[in-house]
Structures are given as structure tokens and as C-alpha cells.
């Protein structure tokens, strides 16, 4: 009993009973069904994945074709450019300043408006604002706001554009432009800014009629200026009252019988360039301004600033002229 090994009973092959055969066939059928089910489920994701890939691939190719077609079509390029707000600059100059041209790519403007005011102002102070907007599919509109040009200032035999705000453009010219007045002898910024403050207040018709303004201070009047007008007249004035009196220049010039000098230093009176031997005066009252312009032929020089009364007597005749400024003085001229 102890120390003996157990031996396996040899199994004798025997025929299966009908019930066992039926059970065996049923198990085999179940295995086959289970195997087919697994194969079906395992093959479905592969099929779905391959279908998605095909959709993605087709979509990608379609987008590439659409993009290539768009890039090669005129829709991707700027077809028209409109410019608004420009007065002194031409359309071509505005486009060149902002580097906006016909047939440029439209892509930079698809997301919205672009403001180039800051970068444009650094190079061109004449332009305060520079904005680009897209209109439609491939049309652009440039809207600018110009800094008004006051004139050109002469410095060291070169002419520099000066704006209403006192900004002097660095780019110089050897010859002045005939469109703007020339400012001479304004060597200090303080005096030049004082002139621009007055100059901006003038009506456009008066501004456009000025050819040149010289700073000519005298011993009695350190703020004296001399104007040369486009119509041939000359004007002497003071910086502090320049705008207030000069706005009446069209009326005063119309009352003059011949070209001459208008003195606005004290009151307002005029006299012609010629006929120095005699003095002819005419009394003209201005109800709106209280200024009286008189035309005489006594001298071509401008009388110095004074609040006193100048008298001269004659045996023939005499006439009086009333000059209005801050006070009224009487001038008696003789023939």
C-alpha cells in the first residue's frame, strides 16, 4: 500500500452515444456562431475607419482644389481702390504712401479694417489718419484725414513745408510750391507759432490770397509783419491783431482805387504805391467792423505805429479820415 505508484487506467476508445454526439455537434455549432460573431464585430471598425479616411482624404483634396482655384481667380486680388478725404494728395500718391496697389492680395483685409495712421504719420506728417476698409469681396476703400498745410518756411535757402499744427516737414525743396504762402525771416519757433495761431483763423479766401509773409520787426514794433498779396497789394500788420483785422481785407481791397499798401498796425488805412508828391484820401466807413479804409498818394512808405494825430495844413483844401482800432484818431491830409 505504501510506496506504490498509482497507475492510470487506460481509456478504451468507445463509440459515443447518440446523446453525446448531439451535445458535441451543438457545442461545435455554438463555437462556429461565436467565431463568426467576433469576426463580424472586429471587421466593422476597420471598415468604418477606412471610410472616414476616404472622406477626410476627399475633403482635403476638395479644399486644395477650391483654394487653388480661388488663388488663381481675380477674387483673390484687389480689383478696385477708392480714396476719400484727400485734398492736396492725388489718389496715386495716397496709394503709394500706404503701399496699397491694384492687384495686391486681398488676404490682409479679409479679417476687417486696417489702421495705418501711426506708421503713415511717421513718414508723412501731412496725413493725420489713414484707414483701409474692404468693400465687397475684393474692393478696398482708403479714408484719409489730411493735416492742413499752412505754407512753406524759408530756412538756409531751402523751403520746408509747415503744417497748421506747427510741424515742419523734414523734406526740403530748393524751389517753393506756388500753392502756399512763403514765410520768411521766422527764425524762432515762438514767433512762427504765433503767426500760425493767427493764420489758422483767417477765412480760406484770405489765406489763398496771401503770397508771402515776412517777419519785419521794428524798434517800435517787435511783432511787425509784411504781407505780399496775390492781387498785387501789400499789407503791414501786427501778429497779435493780424487775424482780427486781416479778415476784412477783401472789403478793404475792393475799396482801393489802385494797388497800394494797407496798414493795419494802428487802425486801418491804405495808400497807393504811386503819386508820392500828393496825398488823396477817401473816407469809407465799414459798419460791420468799424474799420475805415482811406486811399491816398502821399508816400509809398508805411507810417510807423503811433496813436497820435498827424496834422498837415494846406491853402487849397483839407479832408479828414477816421481810423478805428482800439481808439479813434483823425488824419488830415492835404493836396
Q: Is residue 133 part of a domain?
A: yes
* pLDDT for the residue 278: 38
Please say whether the beta carbons of 269 and 298 come within 8 A: no
Phi then psi dihedrals of residue 53, to 5 deg:
-60, -40
Residue 335 has pLDDT above 60, yes or no: no
Average pLDDT over residues 204-222: 92
Both 307 and 167 in one domain: the answer is: yes
* pLDDT for the residue 326: 34
Q: How many domains is the chain built from? A: 2
Question: CATH number for the domain including 246?
Answer: 3.40.50.10960
Distance CA(331)–CA(68), nearest Å, equals 87
Question: CATH number for the domain including 91?
Answer: 3.10.20
Both 139 and 154 in one domain: the answer is: no
Both 206 and 95 in one domain: the answer is: no
Q: Which residue range forms the structural domain that includes residue 101?
A: 75-146
More confident of the two residues 299 and 194: 194
Helix (H) or strand (E) holding 117: helix 117-123
* pLDDT for the residue 191: 92
Both 172 and 316 in one domain: the answer is: yes
Q: How far is CA 134 from CA 63, 77, 90, 97, 141, in A?
A: 24, 12, 20, 18, 6
Helix (H) or strand (E) holding 48: helix 18-72
Q: How far is CA 69 from CA 28, 106, 107, in A?
A: 62, 15, 15
> Which residues make beta-bridge pairs with 140?
81, 134
Q: Using one digit for the tens of pLDDT, what is the confidence trace for 81-107? A: 999 999 888 999 999 999 999 889 888
Domain final residue, candidates 146, 178, 203: 146
Q: Using one digit for the tens of pLDDT, what is the confidence trace for 19-74? A: 877 888 888 888 888 877 776 666 555 555 677 788 888 888 888 988 888 788 88
Q: Is residue 224 part of a domain?
A: yes
Predicted TM-score (pTM) of this structure:
0.55
More confident of the two residues 140 and 12: 140
Domain final residue, candidates 121, 146, 171: 146
Both 104 and 207 in one domain: the answer is: no
Q: Is residue 26 part of a domain?
A: no
Distance CA(199)–CA(263), nearest Å, equals 17
- Beta-carbon contacts of 93 under 8 Å, excluding residues fewer than 6 positions away, are 86
pLDDT bracket for residue 321 (50, 70, 90):
very low
Distance of CA 109 to the CA centre of its chain: 19
Phi then psi dihedrals of residue 109, to 5 deg:
-110, 5
* pLDDT for the residue 88: 82
Amino acid at each position: 500500500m505504501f510506496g506504490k505508484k498509482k497507475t492510470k487506467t487506460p481509456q478504451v476508445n468507445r463509440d459515443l452515444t447518440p446523446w453525446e454526439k448531439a451535445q458535441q455537434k451543438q457545442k461545435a455549432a455554438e463555437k462556429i456562431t461565436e467565431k463568426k460573431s467576433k469576426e463580424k464585430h472586429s471587421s466593422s471598425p476597420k471598415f468604418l475607419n477606412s471610410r472616414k479616411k476616404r472622406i477626410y482624404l476627399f475633403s482635403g483634396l476638395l479644399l486644395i482644389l477650391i483654394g487653388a482655384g480661388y488663388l488663381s481667380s481675380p477674387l483673390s486680388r484687389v480689383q478696385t481702390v477708392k480714396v476719400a478725404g484727400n485734398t492736396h494728395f492725388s489718389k496715386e500718391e495716397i496709394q503709394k504712401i500706404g503701399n496699397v496697389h491694384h492687384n495686391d492680395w486681398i488676404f490682409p483685409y479679409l479679417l476687417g479694417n486696417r489702421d495705418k495712421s501711426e506708421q503713415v504719420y511717421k513718414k508723412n506728417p501731412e496725413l493725420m489718419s489713414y484707414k483701409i476698409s474692404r468693400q465687397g469681396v475684393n474692393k478696398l476703400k482708403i479714408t484719409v484725414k489730411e493735416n492742413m498745410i499752412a505754407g512753406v518756411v524759408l530756412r538756409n535757402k531751402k523751403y520746408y513745408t509747415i503744417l497748421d499744427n506747427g510741424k515742419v516737414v523734414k523734406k526740403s525743396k530748393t524751389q517753393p510750391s506756388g500753392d502756399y504762402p512763403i514765410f520768411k525771416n521766422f527764425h524762432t519757433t515762438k514767433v512762427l507759432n504765433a503767426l500760425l495761431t493767427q493764420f489758422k483763423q483767417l477765412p480760406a479766401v484770405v489765406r489763398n490770397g496771401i503770397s508771402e509773409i515776412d517777419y519785419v520787426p521794428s524798434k517800435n514794433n517787435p511783432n511787425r509783419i509784411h504781407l505780399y498779396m496775390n492781387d498785387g497789394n501789400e499789407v503791414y500788420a501786427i501778429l497779435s491783431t493780424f487775424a482780427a483785422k486781416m479778415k476784412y481785407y477783401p472789403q478793404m481791397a475792393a475799396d482801393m482805387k489802385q494797388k497800394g499798401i494797407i496798414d493795419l498796425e494802428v487802425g486801418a488805412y491804405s495808400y497807393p504805391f504811386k503819386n508820392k508828391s500828393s496825398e488823396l484820401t477817401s473816407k469809407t466807413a465799414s459798419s460791420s467792423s468799424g474799420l475805415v479804409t482811406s486811399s491816398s498818394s502821399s508816400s509809398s512808405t508805411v507810417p510807423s505805429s503811433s496813436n497820435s494825430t498827424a496834422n498837415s495844413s494846406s491853402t487849397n483844401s483839407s479832408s479828414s479820415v477816421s481810423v478805428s482800432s482800439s481808439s479813434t484818431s483823425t488824419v488830415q491830409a492835404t493836396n
